[in-house]
Amino acid sequence: MAEPEHRTGEHWELTSEFGWTSKAYDLLEQDLLKAEVTVIDGVLTTRVWGCCPRCGGQLDDRQVPTAVGDFTGLRGGPNLDAEILRPPVVSVDVTCGCGQAHVNAPEGETGCGVSFRVELVADSVPGPGTP
């Protein structure tokens, strides 16, 4: 599938409407937006990259979420069985970082202003061949 064009003429707007989160979900399904979570030495890092759901620009967002819920339960403990059934889901709020100053953007601000939420499952390996 062809990547959407970067709509740099889109006016800058600080928005986190749910519609963008659901658009981001569609892009994830189409492989135009990718999300990855890695754990190195117990430190969880998320990366979301690909097309911005609003302006179509390329973004690349890395975060180290601090509040990761019951992630430590993975290491073992009384609720081990429950943890295996429910792998931890990490939600990250991603802000457009397409690098373009959009129309009406505040001084020094790049991106189109949208933020959206991506949910990642900590122990899944997202691959290109998802059915």
Binding stretches for Zn ion (CB under 5 A): 52, 54-55, 57, 96, 98, 100, 112
CB of 89 to Zn ion, least distance (A): 24
Is the CB of 7 or the CB of 47 nearer to Zn ion? 7
CB of 101 to Zn ion, least distance (A): 9
- d(CA 62, CA 46) in angstroms, rounded, equals 6
CB of 107 to Zn ion, least distance (A): 17
Q: What is the Cα 51 distance to its own chain's centre? A: 11
Is the CB of 13 or the CB of 36 nearer to Zn ion? 13
- d(CA 31, CA 28) in angstroms, rounded, equals 5
* The residue to which tokens 């295996």 are assigned: 84
Extract the tokens encoding 1: 């599938």
* The residue to which tokens 């759901």 are assigned: 53
- d(CA 92, CA 47) in angstroms, rounded, equals 9
Is the CB of 57 or the CB of 88 nearer to Zn ion? 57
Is the CB of 27 or the CB of 52 nearer to Zn ion? 52
CB of 2 to Zn ion, least distance (A): 17
